[in-house]
Amino acid sequence: MPKGRNNLATDDLKSRKKNNHLKDRKRIGLLSNSAIIKPLRGKPVERQPDNIFSDHHSAEETLRKAHTGQETRAKKGTPHRVAKNEPMEHVISENKHVEDALRETERFLSSVFASIQDGVSILDHDMNIIRVNPAMEQWYSHATPLVGKKCFEAYHSRNQRCEVCPAYETIHTGKGAHEVVPKRGATKEILGWLDLFTFPLVDTTTGKMKGVIEFVRDITKRKQAEEALRNEKQRFQVLSDQAPYGIMMIDKEGAFKYVNPKFTQLFGYDLADVPNGKTWFRKAYPDPTYRHRVISDWLKDLEKANPAEKRSRVFTATCKDGSEKIVNFISVRLGEGENLVTCEDFTDQIRAEEALRKSEEESRKLAQENAIMAEIGRIISSTLKIEEVYERFVEEVRKLISFDRIAIRTIDPKEKMVTIAYISGIDIGNQQI
């Protein structure tokens, strides 16, 4: 072949390669991070609502058919045409690699989507469900198929948007939103509670929002636990408000978190008067020495205390009006380091016990005196010698009266004389009796 024709064929081949390469580049659209391939030819592929990866599967099928047609035409051609289409075969090979990578990406993303244990739902701008993960299908199996329905229709059995709707808020603000919503069954009954978070679904190529991602977590057990705790607190409130003894709730820092009405009735103080232990000790125990003893005993008990173990101490506390009351303080340390203290007024009880002891003591003393007087009478009226009578008499009197010296005198009214008949005890010298 002449040199000129050879150069012309070479230039023609280079031009064909360049044109084929450009055509293929135009046919294949690789969309940034989402790895979506547009169809090569034919009608636009209809969007599948349940696929967040746009026209991915349709693009794959169109690309596969295009590759098959190109390979068939290349093989049917003459060796000369095959040689001329070598650049096209190279492009086809590259496209296969892209296709394989695309399939692997799709499998990976689908696996991640399906493996999320919480619910995930994808909505378009009109709040139509375009894709859900298995968790949502399981929770709302009574409303399947979910895809294609309005979210409020599928999830809440409503014919219009919910009054409080995080998805609607995200669509109109472009920002994430959150709300706790009921988990409803087939007849609209509330089966539980869901933490619903919504985020804008943004096309990374255009930067525009394409829809809404709903992330849903079942918090039914947490809500039930919160409700149980709330009920327990209400019961405690009722019991403590009606308790016949004072109650203090003190946190681990020493702050008074609660005092019941009986506490205020007992001492006159409320939370504003005694916001913490330091103020309480200063007002309830104004005497520094006694206050130091009370604080020392409290700290000792606190160091040795185990959770739920009762510690009892009786102290005399000064009330707001200045009066004093004897109170039995029973403290229990709770699990979080708080202390629950009950205050039982022992004032009347202890005073009654003291009065009873005093009365019993007086009764015993009176009975003893009566017994001694009876013995003295018996001695005086006895037939004992007078000296012996005097000695026995002095012994019995000593039981009633403590003395150092005693004298027994006889009086003669007629003679107007006083005679000392008997003397016992310490000699007092020249003192006249």
| Cis peptide upstream of residue 200 (ω within 30 degrees of 0) | no
Q: What is the pLDDT of residue 84?
A: 55
Where does the pLDDT of residue 103 fall: very low under 50, low under 70, confident under 90, or very high at 90 and above? confident
Alpha-carbon distance of 268 to 262, in angstroms, equals: 9
Residue appearing with tokens 């001694």: 372
Token duo for residue 230: 């709330």
* Maximum separation of any 2 CA atoms in the chain, in Å: 193
Rounded distance between C-alpha atoms, residue 117 and residue 216, angstroms: 10
Q: How many CB atoms lie within 10 A of CB 227?
A: 11
- For residue 53, give the 3-state DSSP assignment: coil
Q: Which of 161, 160, 128 is nearest to 145 (CA)?
A: 128
Question: What is the model's pTM?
Answer: 0.48
**Distance between CA atoms of residues 167 and 127, nearest Å:** 8
Picking from 239, 249, 226, the residue whose alpha carbon sits closest to that of residue 334 is 249
Angle at which helices 86-115 and 3-27 pack, to 10 degrees? 20
Computed from CA positions of residues 365, 368, 370, 376, in that sequence, does the dihedral angle turn out positive or negative? negative
DSSP string, 183-227: EE-TTS-EEEEEEEEEEEEE-TTT--EEEEEEEEEE-HHHHHHHH
pLDDT of residue 351: 80
**Per-residue pLDDT at 100 exceeds 60:** yes
- Comparing 15-29, 97-111, 375-389, 393-407, the range with the smallest average pLDDT is 15-29
Distance CA 376, CA 111 (A): 113
Residue 65 pLDDT = 62
Q: Which residues contact 422 (CB under 8 A, 6 or more apart)?
A: 387, 390, 394, 407, 408
Mean pLDDT for the stretch of residues 284-298 = 94
Give mean pLDDT, residues 19-35. 43
**pLDDT of 115 higher than 80:** yes
What are the tens digits of pLDDT across the range 241-267? 888 899 999 998 999 999 999 999 999
Q: What's the confidence (pLDDT) of residue 3? A: 46
Nearest to 121 by CA among 99, 153, 98, 83: 153
Distance CA 391, CA 410 (A): 16
The model's confidence at residue 204, banded by pLDDT at 50, 70 and 90, is confident
Lowest mean pLDDT among 137-146, 290-299, 374-383: 374-383
pLDDT over 50 (residue 240):
yes
| The one-letter amino acid at 22 | L
Domains of the chain: 3-114 (no CATH), 117-224 (3.30.450.20), 243-345 (3.30.450.20), 350-425 (no CATH)
Q: Among 39-48, 340-349, 386-395, name the most confident range.
A: 340-349
Q: How confident is the model at residue 433 (pLDDT cuts 50, 70, 90)?
A: very low
Taking residues 301-320, report their average pLDDT.
88
What local confidence, expressed as pLDDT, does residue 23 receive? 46
Highest average pLDDT, of 57-61, 260-264, 364-368, comes from: 260-264
Residue 277 · residue 257 · CB < 8 Å: no
In percent, the amount of the chain with pLDDT more than 70 equals: 78
Name, of 7-16, 82-91, 153-162, 419-428, the range with top average pLDDT: 153-162
The whole-angstrom separation of Cα 87 and Cα 362 is: 128
Tokens found for residue 125:
């701008």
Q: Closest Cα partner for 259 from 294, 314, 319, 269?
A: 269
Type of residue at 136:
M
Lowest mean pLDDT among 77-86, 160-169, 409-418: 77-86
Q: Which of 36-45, 140-149, 306-315, 317-326 has the lowest mean pLDDT?
A: 36-45
Q: Does residue 158 contact residue 152 with C-beta atoms inside 8 Å?
A: yes
Do 409 and 396 meet the contact criterion of CB atoms below 8 Å apart? no
Average confidence score pLDDT of the chain: 80
Contacts of 175 (CB under 8 A, 6+ apart): 169, 200
Which pLDDT band holds residue 168 (cuts at 50, 70, 90)?
very high
Block residue for tokens 């090569």: 40
Q: How confident is the model at residue 77 (pLDDT cuts 50, 70, 90)?
A: low
Range in 4-8, 141-145, 213-217, 282-286 with the lowest mean pLDDT? 4-8
Q: Angle, nearest 10°, between helix axes 277-284 and 288-304? A: 140
pLDDT score at 270: 95
How does residue 356 score in pLDDT terms, banded at 50, 70 and 90?
confident
Does 20 or 430 have the greater pLDDT score? 430
